[in-house]
Amino acid sequence: MNPVDVFRVALDTPLKRLFDYLPPPQGVVQGPSDPVARPSGVSSPPLEPGMRVRVPFGRQKLVGIIIEAASSTEIGEDRLKSILQVLDSRPVLDASALGLLRWAAEYYHHPIGEVLSAALPKAMRGGADVQAREEQWTVTAEGCAAYASGEPRRAPKQRELLTYLMEGSHATQGHSTAPAKDGVSATVLDEALPKWRDAARALKERGWVSVADVVSANSPTGARPFSVRVAGPELREEQRAAVEAVGGALSHFGAFVLHGVTGSGKTEVYLRLVERVLEKGRRALVLVPEIGLTPQLVGRFRERFDTPMSVLHSALTDHERLVAWRDAFSGHARIVLGTRSAVFAPVPDIGIIIVDEEHDPSFKQHEGGFRYSARDLAVMRAQRADVPVLLGSATPSLESLHNVDSGRYTRLSLPHRAASAEPPRMALVDLRSNTVHAGVSTPAIQAIERHLRDDGQVLVFLNRRGYAPTLLCTACGWIAPCQECDARLTVHLSAGRLRCHHCGFDSVLPSRCPQCGFAVKPVGQGTERIEETLTGLFPGATLARLDRDVVRRRGDMEEVVRRMSSGEARILVGTQMVTKGHDFPNVTLVVVLNADQGLFSTDFRAPERLAQTIVQVAGRAGRGSKPGEVLIQTEFPGHPLLHSLLSEGYEGFARAALTERSQASWPPFSRLAAVRDSAKTAESALEFLTEARKLAGTPPRGLRLLGPVPAAMSRRAGRFHAQLLIEGTGRSGLHQFLDAWLPGVEQLPSARRVRWDLDVDPIELF
Ligand code: ADP
Ligand code: ZN
Ligand code: ZN
């Protein structure tokens, strides 16, 4: 131990540790180009946890975050290096953000540097300024002279820009001889003189104007007052009770589950609560599953509040993300709305956290190393900030319902639809006893006909995109396989391709069997084929389709939503994407083409997912004044899950499912962690997990190790996958075990032959 002052820095590396550095040598300038010009001789502010620093790391220079100061280090003085540069004059992660992230690193057993990375936009990790800078254009002395003499005469665009820079928007109020003092920002010019840039470039070449980057005016403290643009409807009794329950407890932590059937006015409850929080001068964080799927929610917040909002989602460019993050960080934005990773967004003076569609699996990070649950972290964040968290859903997760049962969360119910809408009527269609036309049964065809005749719109749901899931040779039985996966290739007819939905493999669609030369044919249904079938059956009705093949760019989703909302499209065929959020008041019929995927899965969560999907898609029916009807096609009309769902609704299903989970001791009655790996051979994938299991010896009481087993689809993208589950009756027991066990697992020689990771609270099992 060397008694020196060092700073412990988190770096984005896979190592589960911090790195010690000496403070920067005296005289190092703060900031890459510090916006607040500091007079020389004034000492820089002290280094604090949460500030970014640039440090030497091997042969690289990395940006890291100071986690803490310490007075001693294990590193020999000769090997100890100094911080090269300090990037911030105040922390970009405050004490509460750092606290949450350090907690998450421990809970998910993940390297702190990678956890911190998830919390900051890429540009910030690269060293971008914490404050926005913007181009400011000013007229030079030469430019002023040129302007006064009426130049440039033959370039009207340049003259126009020069005039604007000299006179600003007051151009009509007479002439001035001095330019606007601080210049005019690019944003202002964009609004005033679209396409001004060519003229600006020409003027700059003549030396008549100049441009500089300055800190933009989004002031952190000038919290613009908010106002409600349009008052919402008068709340119904249940809504009022929900708003009171949460709104009356804004000054401390509480977790609430807002269980409201679709169309019951949950969003209205969110809006009222956000209004109360804004009134107190605080800010709101709203998490949604996927922005692309919920443009309507963003629209409703913008419609209601005249106040700056920061919207964070995965489709943003790096720069857009930086801009949105800065708006949140500075406090300029009063509402921060975003997807999963927005749970880490900076929200100064946070007053509430709302998680919409809290059951949605996309709140769990499925890929990459840091597999966190944004829903669970939202609860933890609210607890640490001592503010309420509201988890809304028409189909709450069994975890959240269990937390209600055990008294940890408070349930608020909205059992009725808002306005006059009636709940939809649900019925099963037995696929075995009805004639089926290319996936659509006769009762479904008749119902579609009837609803179209009555001027309704129809939504047809099938959770499978493409034309057909199988390409078959009827002569020799050949089925087009993926070379890289244990899976069949999906036919995409209009694109003329065969594609693997698991690894992305893509090839030309053959017309003949590569084995025997006979003609091949697509078997089974995907959304593309259902679209074709329904177009043939209902030639008078315009169709729209919504799936990942249709929605490729920004705006595609909005276009489909527009065609449905305007009534131009009468039938909408789609995948999971149609189940989310949309409010099409004129949809009166929903047809679920196949409920059976999910009834017999190895994953204990499959029934919950299926019930949620059915209830969510059914909730799209009859949201307006006309009553809705839902038809569910199945080959197993006697299945207990479908039965409880139809006779007792989601509530009844959830009771039954929780009882089953309790008997089998699955979550939420136990805690799970999964170690998953993949390798070039099935043997190596199993070997590593087998050794890891051996290392655990006899697990302590209350813990079970299950497996290892190969994944149900073992080969994916050319690699073999396997899994080892650790199940514990309590959280602390499980985590103590993991803490003791994982360092040894990391050291196993076989670990080097596989790619592996740990998933705490996994929501998908193979
Ligand atoms: P949810 O979020 O639960 O699906 P919404 O908040 O979108 O429900 O409400 C469904 C519809 O009912 C919306 O059109 C909304 O404007 C309307 N609505 C909500 N609350 C009321 C109310 N108290 N009175 C009248 N209409 C309401
Ligand atoms: Zn063949
Ligand atoms: Zn594949």
pLDDT for 135: 78
- Give the per-residue pLDDT at 383: 97
Residue with tokens 């967004």: 345
| Ligand 1 binding pocket mutation candidate from 230, 267, 271, 620 (most atoms within 8 A of CB) | 267
Which pLDDT does position 220 carry in this prediction? 46
Q: What is the dihedral of CA 452, 456, 457, 462, to 10 degrees?
A: -70
The neighbourhood of ligand 3, an ion, using CB within 5 A, equals 482, 484-485, 500, 502-503, 505
- Residue 28 DSSP code: P
Count of beta carbons in the 10 Å neighbourhood of residue 219: 12
Give every CB contact of residue 106 below 8 A, 6+ residues apart in sequence: 735
Residues 6+ apart with CB under 8 A from 644: 652, 653, 656
- How far is C-alpha 163 from the geometric centre of its chain's CA atoms? 46
Q: Region 699-703: what's the mean pLDDT?
A: 89
Higher pLDDT pick, 50 / 176: 50
Report which protein residue has its CA nearest ligand 1's atom 26: 419
Mean of pLDDT values over 532-542: 95
Q: Is the pLDDT of residue 540 over 70?
A: yes
The alpha carbon of residue 605 and the mean position of all alpha carbons in its chain are separated, in whole angstroms, by 21
Among 388, 333, 356, 359, CA closest to 286: 356
Indicate if the pLDDT at residue 718 is higher than 70.
yes
- Cα–Cα distance for residue pair 195/28, rounded to 1 Å: 42
Alpha-helical (H) ranges within 576-639 are 606-618
* Statement: residue 568 has pLDDT above 70: yes
pLDDT at 176: 46
Name residue, tokens 């006893």: 433
Interatomic CA distance for residues 1 and 278, integer angstroms: 50
What's the pLDDT score for residue 522? 96
Q: What is the pLDDT of residue 736?
A: 94
Q: Give the Cα separation of 530 and 574 in Å (integer).
A: 9
> Separation of 528 CA from ligand 3 center, angstroms?
20
Between CA 337 and CA 286 the distance in angstroms is 5
**Residue whose CA is at the smallest distance from ligand 1 atom 10:** 263
Q: Which of 370, 389, 285 is nearest to 761 (CA)?
A: 370
Question: Encoding tokens for residue 758?
Answer: 């740990």
pLDDT for position 33: 46
Does position 157 have pLDDT exceeding 70, yes or no? yes
Pocket test for ligand 1, best of 268, 296, 412 (most atoms within 8 A of CB): 268
Could you read off the pLDDT of 279-289 as tens digits, one per residue?
A: 999 999 999 99
Band of residue 420 on the pLDDT scale cut at 50, 70, 90: low
The per-residue pLDDT for range 730-748, each reduced to its tens digit, is: 889 999 999 999 999 999 9
Q: State both tokens at 285.
A: 């964080």
Q: Given a cut of 70, is residue 599 above it in pLDDT?
A: yes
Q: How far apart are CA 165 and CA 136, in angstroms?
A: 10
What's the token pair of residue 182? 């601080």
Residues with CB under 6 A from ligand 1: 233-236, 239, 260, 262-268, 418-419, 583
Distances (CA, A) of 270 to 168, 699, 702: 42, 45, 40
Q: Which atom of ligand 1 is nearest to the CA of 261?
A: 3
pLDDT beyond 90 at 182: no
Region 180-190: mean pLDDT is 73
Token digits for 311? Answer: 């919207």
Do the Cβ atoms of 488 and 600 come closer than 8 Å?
no
Find the mean pLDDT for residues 76-105: 91
Contact, 478 vs 513, CB < 8 A? yes
What pLDDT, on a 0 to 100 scale, did the predictor assign at position 681? 94
Residue found under tokens 């959020």: 581
Say whether pLDDT at 721 is over 70: yes
Q: How far is the CA of 424 from the centre of ligand 1 (A)?
A: 16
Closest ligand by atom to 271 CA = 1
What is the reported pLDDT for 173?
Answer: 39
Question: Stretch 200-223: mean pLDDT, rounded?
Answer: 75
Whole-angstrom distance, CA of residue 737 vs CA of residue 695: 12
DSSP per residue over 396-442, as a string?
--HHHHHHHHTTSSEEEEE-S-STTPPPPEEEEEETTSS-EETTEEH
pLDDT tens readout for residues 110-124: 999 999 998 999 999
Ligand 2: centre distance to CA 488 (Å): 15
pLDDT band at 185 (very low <50, low <70, confident <90, very high): confident
Q: What is the pLDDT of residue 600?
A: 80
Ligand nearest to the CA of 487: 3
User: 72-76, 188-192, 218-222, 394-398: lowest mean pLDDT where?
Assistant: 218-222
SS3 of 63-112: the string is EEEEEEEECCECCCCCCCCECCEECCCCCCCCHHHHHHHHHHHHHCCCCH
For residue 516, the CA-to-ligand 2 centroid distance in Å is 4
Q: What pLDDT sits at residue 223? A: 52
Phi, psi of 64, rounded to the nearest 5 degrees: -130, 180
Q: Which of 37-46, 198-207, 258-267 has the lowest mean pLDDT?
A: 37-46
- Say if residues 494 and 624 touch (Cβ distance below 8 Å): no
Distance between Cα 527 and ligand 2 center (Å): 26
Element (DSSP H or E) covering residue 756: strand 755-760
Q: Give the distance (Å) from ligand 3 centre to CA of residue 492.
A: 15
Residue 33 DSSP one-character state: T
Question: Whole-angstrom Cα distance, residue 650 to residue 338?
Answer: 27
For residue 219, pLDDT over 60 is answered with: no
Locate tokens 């840039």: which residue? 197
CA 363/CA 360 separation, integer angstroms: 6
Cis preceding-peptide flag for 708 (omega within 30 of 0): yes
Are 130 and 329 contacting, i.e. CB atoms less than 8 angstroms apart? Answer: yes
Chain mean pLDDT for the chain: 89
Considering every ligand atom shown, identify the ligand nearest to the alpha carbon of residue 270 and give its number: 1
CA of 677 to the centre of ligand 3 (A): 18
Residue of the nearest CA to atom 8 in ligand 1? 265
Quote the pLDDT of residue 46.
Answer: 83
- Name the pLDDT band for 558 (thresholds 50, 70, 90): confident
* Averaged pLDDT for residues 429-441: 93
Ligand nearest to C-alpha 415: 1
CA 504 / ligand 3 centre spacing (Å): 6
